[in-house]
Chains A and B, each alone.
Chain A
Amino acid sequence: MTDRPPVLLEAQDVTRVYRLGREVEVPALRGVSFLVDRGEHVAIVGSSGSGKSTLLNLLGALDRPTSGHVRYHGRDVREMSDAELAALRNGSIGFVFQSFQLLPRLTALDNVVVPLVYRPGTARERRERAREALAQVGLADRVDHRPGELSGGQQRRVAIARALVTGPALVLADEPTGNLDSRTGQEVMDLLESLHAEQGTALVVITHERDIAARAARRILLRDGLIVDEVAA
């Protein structure tokens, strides 16, 4: 035992097996171990079917592993209650989903407010924070637009603002440049990285694009549910 505080995120021998029907078992992850410490920038790289999405769900505390451990701040996700998991997702993790996952009937501002309603505070404070987060991603003049009135890049930035508005310790970005042209993709990555640098937020980017992965300090290569390589830049 040391006095060193537990690492932010620890995956240890994580497996995840999906059961299809009675007899068929599909192992999506077959024993994955790695650490992500505070303020790190890590890319998880793999093609489709490599287990990326499964890993994302486990790292995001949306799912529990079949065996092995996912620990946040040293606490095992498997031992947490539903309410504790919700609090962990709300307090420590910021999601940037591949398909944005914005609510179409809400304005950009109200979309960014959503994670804040699950923690204490007044409506005015929430709107103020959401406004600041939108300003940080350069959308101060779009707060009252609905997602349908925004471009793909702008929608992605709203999603990033929503992930950052809670001040998370870790941002999980799933294919953040997917469906974007390369210039807009670069802008989104620049934005994520500058926020990561400014706020000391750990950033885990899940991608299949090598040049996006190359921007991370550390790359974890995933294939067929196993880590095949881990490269530090």
Chain B
Amino acid sequence: MSLRESLRVAMQALRANRLRSALTTLGVLIGVMAVVLLVAIGQGARSEITGAIEGLGSNLLFVLPGDGEFGAGPTRSSFEVDDIERIDRALPGGPGRAAGYVIGAESVQADGIRFNATVFGVTEHYLDVVDRTIARGQALGASDVLTGRRVAVIGATTAETLYPGQDPIGRRLSVGAIRYRVVGVLDRVGTTAFGPDVDRQVIIPISAAQRLFGSARVDAIFVRATSTVGIDADRAAAEAALAERLDESEFSVLSQDEIIGVVGDILQILTWVLAAIAGISLLVGGVGVSNIMLVSVSERTREIGLRKALGARTRDITRQFLFEAVVLTGLGGAVGLALGIALAEVVAAFAPVPAEITWWSIALALGVSVLVGLLFGVLPARRAGQLDPVTALRHE
């Protein structure tokens, strides 16, 4: 019996039971759809986050608390404002290139309008170091930071929300019980789905923020190297400067590539976990196929006996039922793939979470669904093939 003929006979049988075939396919369809969609979201998140980090510029160094091993649990920062100064002075290419910040989410109020903002307490060079530009007004000055003056530079979204249609410069806003004067508005960066939305920022002097948060901590320090060549010298200098006061395990200096590597790895694992969870539903779909194929074999015992009497070999019967299973799951895989891609597009269009279809998730979904058909079809198909024609023909 040729492969084409096996396929034709399988299709004939599936068409005879349209509703059942469709429902069986549905299990696999949903599984494949889930795999494609979740992997797309995972991959989208990964490229979004790594893109956001890349957007900071390739000659940025991240000085972070802890020994740089992600996944070891949250680390308490031991940084102090003096550490930022110490690093800045030690940089071989000249000072003015290190900045630190402390971050917190606060409810901000102005003229009776409430807004949930991301409050950044920063040191003098922060905006230069992270490469942000002022749209109106001015940045925080050295004396603002030194004296903890109650002045603020705000993000574009913050400005539009608190002062719709008005000029925010010189206006007041309160963070908690303390009032600040707006001195500058930042250029819009655009939305990112992950990390703090920088357009919702309220940037104040770090000393003011530490008073507000009731903590003397510094969350992280950035160093902007003069060039990608000078980055190693800057890193060595920053490490040496911190080692004067802190233990090696209390800080780590990472380049952008290293951060992307670590974060990318974590998100890749997340993607795989999502794929695995979706894979479970695919497995359940496969069990459904197996179940229905067993029912089908027992229902069609007489047909199997007849086909054997008319010249079908064990192999022909096994192949026919295997084909039925594979057609069911393959069809489910193809439709599930199409739906998964369509849904990913919808998600990408309407949700802040991006979705990215990757070729490997498509190959995986189709490959796995055919494999599921083979795997879960083998048992019923073998059972069918091994039926004894005499007994099978007598079966009611």
Contact = CB atoms under 8 A, between A and B. Distances in A.
A95 B303 CA distance: 14
A63 B310 contact: no
Interface string A68-105: 00000000000000110011011100010100010101
A86 B303 CA distance: 15
A89 B12 contact: no
B390 A89 contact: no
B383 to A, nearest CB: 16
Contacts of A115: 310-311
A118 B389 contact: no
A105 to B, nearest CB: 4
A97 to B, nearest CB: 7
Q: Among the interface residues A86, A90, A114, which one has the most CB atoms of the partner chain B within 10 A?
A: A86
Contacts of B16: 105
A106 interface: yes
Contacts of B312: 86, 90, 118
Interface in B323-372: none
Interface in B284-340: 302-303, 306-316
Interface residues of A, number: 27
A19 B120 CA distance: 88
Contact of A83 (B309, B315, B389): B315
Given A62-B390, A63-B390, A103-B303, A114 B310 contact: yes
A103 B111 CA distance: 82
Given A101-B393, A117-B5, A110 B12 contact: yes
A106 B12 contact: yes
B193 interface: no
A114 B312 CA distance: 9
Contacts of A114: 306-307, 310
Interface in A107-143: 110, 114-115, 117-120, 123
Contacts of A57: 390
Q: Chain A binding site: helix, strand, loop or mixed by DSSP?
A: helix
A156 interface: no
A208 interface: no
A97 B5 CA distance: 25
Contacts of A103: 303, 306
Given A106-B12, A118-B316, A89 B306 contact: no
B393 A86 contact: no
B302 A101 contact: yes
A166 B312 CA distance: 13
B314 A89 contact: no
Given A101-B302, A101-B306, A101-B393, A82 B313 contact: yes
Q: Chain B binding site: helix, strand, loop or mixed by DSSP?
A: helix
Interface size on B, as a range, is: 20 to 34
B1 A117 contact: yes
Given A101-B302, A110-B12, A118 B313 contact: yes
Nearest to A63: B390
Interface in A16-72: 57, 60, 62-63
Q: Among the interface residues B16, B306, B308, B315, which one has the most CB atoms of the partner chain A within 10 A?
A: B306
A196 interface: no
B136 interface: no
A82 B311 contact: no
A162 B310 contact: yes
Contact of B309 (A95, A119, A120): A95
B257 to A, nearest CB: 60
Given A103-B303, A117-B5, A123-B8, A97 B393 contact: yes
B302 A117 contact: no
B52 interface: no
A115 B393 CA distance: 16
Q: Among the interface residues B307, B308, B311, B393, which one has the most CB atoms of the partner chain A within 10 A?
A: B311
Contact of B313 (A63, A86, A97, A106): A86
A118 to B, nearest CB: 4
Nearest to A104: B16
B23 interface: no
B311 A118 contact: yes
Contacts of A87: 311, 313
A87 B308 CA distance: 10
Contacts of B13: 105
B169 interface: no
A23 B164 CA distance: 97
Contacts of A117: 1, 5, 9
Interface string B250-287: 00000000000000000000000000000000000000
6 contacts: A62-B308, A62-B390, A62-B393, A63-B390, A82-B313, A117-B9
Given A62-B390, A86-B311, A91-B311, 12 more contacts: A62-B308, A62-B393, A89-B309, A97-B309, A97-B393, A101-B306, A101-B393, A106-B12, A115-B310, A117-B9, A118-B310, A118-B312
Interface of A: 57, 60, 62-63, 82-83, 86-87, 89-91, 95, 97, 101, 103, 105-106, 110, 114-115, 117-120, 123, 162, 166
